[in-house]
Amino acid sequence: GVVRVLPIGCITKGRAGQDIVDMKEMADAGVVALSDDGSSVPEYKVLRAALESAVAHGLTIIEHCEDAELSAGGVMNEGELADKLGLKGIPETAEEIIVARDIALSEMTGAHVHIAHVSTHGSVYLIRRAKASKFAVTAEATPHHLTLTEECVATPSKKAKADSSAKVNPPLRKERDVKALVAALKEGVIDAVATDHAPHAEYEKQWGMDRAPFGVIGLETALGLTLGLVQQGRVTLPRAITCLTSAPAAVLGLPRG
């Protein structure tokens, strides 16, 4: 009775990226935002139509920013560590290209675009510029992207060459990305902390990096990890509490009480 559960609808029918949903019907049914989370809307014209419809019905579009062609087959952050482990990487550019596109389309349509689970310093740069220009753009970061790096994928275990429990999408990045995200959270460039909670059975995560599903638990650790940033003096307590409570509500235009 103390937790509000608010539905987010799909942007496109069946999350297929082709035909936008009836947003009036969605809004009337009570959705608070729209997202094809797990994938971005690939076609520019489709996303433009979705943004224009979202403006007409007072809805926020939440984008998982990933160029599927650039990230195809990737299981961790692209770079020296991925090469060392013999794993296909997901480049930072795969996220940043879509962030840049979505910001441009937000400016074009006047629609509110919310960037989910930001993971790179380049995305932070783009979002900071968009906010300085007063575009209708907001963003979030996850507890794991604010505190962990790609090094978590490496494991000393002789049974596996990499730890698939740290396989997430977007992938854990480098220390410079973590620092950029924390600084952006402190400044307000990143508006909120959102868990991107994606639990999986232990046996699924034991399938190895190539077969294990993307995702990690987030609800149980979000408060502790965020307060860890406070204890380190990297974020103030009031800012941390805001990012976990009233800021997500503000992003969606909801009452903060």
Q: What is the pLDDT of residues 34-68, one digit of tens each?
A: 999 999 999 999 999 999 999 999 999 999 999 99
Does pLDDT of 98 surpass 90?
A: yes
- Give the pLDDT of residue 155: 78
Query: Binning pLDDT at 50, 70 and 90, where does residue 3 land?
Result: confident
Catalytic residues, which ones?
A: 196
165-174: average pLDDT: 96
Does pLDDT of 140 surpass 70?
A: yes
- Give the pLDDT of residue 121: 98
Does pLDDT of 119 surpass 60?
A: yes
Higher pLDDT, 4 or 199: 199
Q: What is the pLDDT of residues 74-83, one digit of tens each?
A: 999 999 999 9
Does pLDDT of 156 surpass 70?
A: no
| Cα pseudo-dihedral 216, 218, 220, 221, rounded to 10 | 100
- Give the pLDDT of residue 55: 96
Q: What is the dihedral sign for C-alpha 200, 198, 78, 71?
A: positive
| Cα pseudo-dihedral 155, 223, 218, 112, rounded to 10 | -120
CB-CB contact of 114 with 33 (8 Å): yes
Does pLDDT of 254 surpass 90?
A: no
- Give the pLDDT of residue 256: 64
| Cα pseudo-dihedral 167, 198, 222, 149, rounded to 10 | 10
Query: Binning pLDDT at 50, 70 and 90, where does residue 32 land?
Result: very high
Q: What is the pTM of this model?
A: 0.95
CB-CB contact of 33 with 93 (8 Å): no
123-150: average pLDDT: 97
Q: What is the pLDDT of residues 210-242, one digit of tens each?
A: 999 999 988 889 999 999 999 999 999 999 999
Q: What is the dihedral sign for C-alpha 98, 243, 147, 214?
A: negative
Query: Binning pLDDT at 50, 70 and 90, where does residue 257 land?
Result: low
Residue 22 vs residues 28, 57, 63: alpha-carbon distances, Å: 10, 10, 18
